[in-house]
A and B are shown apart, each in its own frame.
Chain A
Amino acid sequence: MRRLLVYLVLLVSAPVAAVAQERMFWPEQASEQAPRLDAFYLALVAINGAVMVLIAALIIVFAWYYRRGSHVNRRFPPHDLLLLETSWIVGTLLIFLAIFAWSTVLFFRVQSPPSGIDLDIYAVARQWMWKFQHPEGPSEINELHLPVGHRVRLTMVSQDVIHSFFVPAFRVKMDVLPGRYTSVYFTPTRTGTYHLFCAEYCGTDHSGMRGQIIVMEPADYQHWLDGQRPETTLAQEGRILYLRHGCSGCHEPESQILAPSLRGLWGSSVRLENGERVTADHRYVRDAILLPQREIVAGYEPIMPSYTGVIDEADMLRLLEYIRSLSREEAAP
């Protein structure tokens, strides 16, 4: 009897497993969060399936059993049962809250920054292409090479309309906004080539705004990087812009004009004129360049001109990376 049961379970589950392998019901699981999310998803499918079957079965059984003309007991049909009403209200609410709790734990784990970042990559989206910028210098169009097992942060911005970075195999999606950085975090766990889609409708060739994420062994990635590596890194290109736009005239320590020093700025806590404190991150430094009158550093005159319309998104990322590198040098012995 038991053997029969085992046999039956295998008979049912084997094709399901086989089919699942063929990517019939979910995409490949190529990131750390993918299996966790799929487990939650399958649990919900099971719960929902059970509820659906229950409701459908009740409707079908009642509709047949109590069909007009059938000789069954219809005496004293209940109209209002307070206890029943209360219990299904409270019951549903409790199940909903349990699902909410599970979901929220996962949501925060996926969306909040991990303890350490191994790889920081920038993305600039525009109608209808993706441009990725590696800190070592190389940039790619509609392709992104990544080493397996590394914690990646992608800092993204759009040059025109809203786009959305979506890699089904990683189970990540984040809108890419004009004028504001958004970030997405993931750790690829499996080498291979995966779809990249723009998920937010962005105009005529929206469905053509696709690309490939190529996850490689770290050694292969290094090899690829070496083959790509241009003369200069992102930060070095940023330094050229820093000189060309005249930033150095005020922000260099030996400058005559008093402007806050940029060394050690990145990641530090900046005290503003109005007494607030902000962390110097992508958002803050970008706004300081484009909207310098918004957050004035305490003790300094608001004399910096705005660079809105002068510096485009790609150059902005170079400048940010340069300013960031100034703090790395500081930290290094």
Chain B
Amino acid sequence: MKEAMIGQPGRHYLNEGGFGWKSWLLTTDHKRIGILYMISITSFFLLGGIFALLIRLELLTPQADLVSSETYNRLFTMHGVVMVWFFLIPSIPAVFGNFLIPIMIGARDMAFPRLNLASWYLFMLGGIVAIGAIVIGGVDTGWTFYTPYSSTYANAYVVLTVIGIFIAGFGTIFTAINFIVTTHTMRAPGMGWFRLPLFIWSNYATAIIVILATPVIGITLVLVGVERLLGFGIFDPAMGGDPLLFQHMFWFYSHPAVYIMILPGMGVVSELVACFAYRRIFGYIFVAFASIAIALLGFFVWGHHMFVSGQSLFAGLLFSLLSYLVAVPSAVKVFNWTATLYKGSIRLEAPMIYALGFIGLFTLGGLTGLMLAAAAIDIHVHDTYFVIAHFHYIMVGGMVLAYMGALHFWWPKITGRLYPNGWAIIAAILIFVGFNLTFFPQFVLGYLGMPRRYHTYPEEFQMLNVLSTAGATILGGGYALPLGYLLWSLGWGKRAGPNPWDARGLEWEMTTTPPIKENFEVIPLVEREAYDYAEPALNIGEQLRFEREMAAQGEKGYR
């Protein structure tokens, strides 16, 4: 390292093994696979975002003017399908989990590097099939594929879309297997379970849910395909099936899937809050076990999506009660993050703004979730914009903000470059403001009674829809900014140094920036607890020397 150019090691995972497309598409390096995922899910996010923008534009006026009902129904379906299965579920685990898990626990790679690459290929194959279905005509069932509409009545490419999701599901399962085995078997000496960063705990919990739940959606979607193609009466009562059976099976997967989407974000926020409050996370054990509790309890609440579906009153009562229980560990996390700020030394850098934004928006999403868990209120607001607002507060206000926070926190480690801080803070604030303006009015719309998936609506709802669309415009701008300055930073950003945030953890203290291909020259011996901010960072001397030398060379912006 000493002979390397200042601030960057001579060799690292980005230049070792070549630059050609083969070196990327055939790589088994978990870091490069993480980047492959980053590029793919960013494309899916843009696609899903364009669908969302078209939906919001159409809803500017009560009448149908921009698109036809057929197109509108396809837009919200494909927005949901792309965002849920091809952005949210892979987002943090597949990008940052892949990149960080081996480094954070002191390993050289995942337990099964080739399986890891295979999971990306499956994900891409599934994505291409789903996009193929969109290109040749799309699908209009809603991302929930409720039967018998999807299995018998829909005049669209249901089977092809379902096949895409089915294939991508195997990719997710492979990744989860890798995470669990890696965490169990490849921790460095001294890295006990309670020294693991909370990011590992939450990704571990996520992997458990993925393995237990994903096969169920696979089976369910196959049954939809079987009914549609072969005419077996499974869900359609006209053929002797039971339409509610589908809803039970779908939500048995899709409610846990909500936690697949949010738990990794919680892990990211624990890392960010600890670093930028500059102190050990408050109640580490409670935050760690809250993830496990959420993973397990999350399997027993699916019926709260079905309070007015015709299921029995007593089933409704039980699912309502269980939904309140699963909310407790989430509340515990929020309290612990807030308590971590107490007596901290807080830096409001861009990642921290995202993390604090996450806590606020996730809290509001959770609190409105409590209202939906109250079966009495759900009768009125079920399938209205209240539900849309609620889960976007969790999925976008929560998960997407956590993803953006993670991106801004680990970007220097991944690329070796710093992005312009001022722009990053402006983008974070734009996203926060735009998000709230988009989705807060939808709570009101929902209680007023505007149903979801409505192409046209009564005129009295227009005002709130206009507000929402205005917010979506700001939100879109907020997302476009990072795309610009992050790409810019690849060529022109300042060099980062090994530990620009003065953070703790193996990825910051024991690796170069960017890390070398095998992560560590020598596997580290872990002797400190996680988030040991009371002691100076192990490589703080290196970082300061790097910054001094950059300053001496006349580079701007270094101390």
Known interface pairs A161-B146, A199-B384; 11 further A-B residue pairs with C-beta atoms within 8 A, sorted by A's residue number: A93-B328, A96-B370, A106-B376, A107-B375, A111-B316, A166-B383, A169-B449, A171-B380, A180-B310, A206-B69, A207-B457
Q: If A89-B332, A111-B313, A179-B237 touch, does A48 touch B382 (CB 8 Å cutoff)?
A: no
Residues of B451-479 whose CB lies within 8 A of A: 451-458, 460
Q: If A63-B341, A78-B282, A100-B324 touch, does A68 touch B359 (CB 8 Å cutoff)?
A: no
Assess whether B35 is interfacial by the CB under 8 Å rule: no
Q: How many Å from the CB of A126 to the closest CB on chain B? A: 11
Contacts of B321 in A (CB 8 A): 100
- Are the CB atoms of A207 and B345 closer together than 8 Å? no
Supply 11 A–B pairs (Cβ within 8 Å), ascending by A: A27-B448, A37-B376, A37-B377, A63-B348, A73-B343, A85-B332, A100-B321, A104-B320, A161-B153, A174-B310, A199-B384
- Are the CB atoms of B313 and A112 closer together than 8 Å? yes
Contacts of A97 in B (CB 8 A): 324
Assess whether A254 is interfacial by the CB under 8 Å rule: no
How would residues 178 to 195 of chain A score, 1 for a CB under 8 Å from any chain B CB and 0 otherwise? Answer: 111010000000000001
List the interface of chain A (C-beta within 8 A of B).
Answer: 23-27, 37, 40-41, 44, 48, 51-52, 55-56, 58-59, 62-63, 66-68, 73-81, 84-85, 88-89, 92-93, 96-97, 99-100, 102-104, 106-108, 110-112, 127, 160-162, 164, 166, 168-169, 171-175, 177-180, 182, 195, 197-208, 210
**Chain A interface: which of B295-303, B360-368, B539-547?**
B360-368
- Are the CB atoms of B243 and A173 closer together than 8 Å? no
- Are the CB atoms of A59 and B376 closer together than 8 Å? no
- Are the CB atoms of B310 and A182 closer together than 8 Å? yes
Assess whether B46 is interfacial by the CB under 8 Å rule: no
Q: How many Å from the CB of B386 to the closest CB on chain A? A: 10
- Are the CB atoms of A48 and B332 closer together than 8 Å? no
The interface centre, meaning the residue of A41, A76, A102, A204 with most chain B CB atoms within 10 A of its CB, is A204
Assess whether B286 is interfacial by the CB under 8 Å rule: yes
- Are the CB atoms of A173 and B286 closer together than 8 Å? no
Residues of B480-528 whose CB lies within 8 A of A: none
A-B residue pairs, 4 tightest by C-beta: A168-B449, A179-B237, A103-B374, A106-B376
Contacts of B140 in A (CB 8 A): 203-204
Q: If A26-B448, A112-B313, A168-B449 touch, does A62 touch B344 (CB 8 Å cutoff)?
A: yes
The interface centre, meaning the residue of A59, A77, A85 with most chain B CB atoms within 10 A of its CB, is A77
Contacts of B449 in A (CB 8 A): 27, 166, 168-169, 195, 197
Residues of B308-327 whose CB lies within 8 A of A: 308-310, 313, 316-317, 320-321, 324-325, 327
Picked from B244, B284, B374, the residue with its CB within 8 Å of the CB of A44 is B374
Q: If A166-B383, A199-B383 touch, does A174 touch B308 (CB 8 Å cutoff)?
A: yes
Contacts of B236 in A (CB 8 A): 178
Kindly state the separation between the CA atoms of A177 and B346 in the bound complex, as whole angstroms: 55
Kindly state the separation between the CA atoms of A197 and B310 in the bound complex, as whole angstroms: 18
Kindly state the separation between the CA atoms of A32 and B373 in the bound complex, as whole angstroms: 22
Assess whether B48 is interfacial by the CB under 8 Å rule: no
Give A58's nearest chain B residue, CB to CB.
B338
Contacts of B84 in A (CB 8 A): none
- Are the CB atoms of B73 and A206 closer together than 8 Å? yes
Assess whether B537 is interfacial by the CB under 8 Å rule: no
Picked from B310, B328, B458, the residue with its CB within 8 Å of the CB of A89 is B328
Assess whether B420 is interfacial by the CB under 8 Å rule: no
Kindly state the separation between the CA atoms of A172 and B377 in the bound complex, as whole angstroms: 10
- Are the CB atoms of A59 and B453 closer together than 8 Å? no
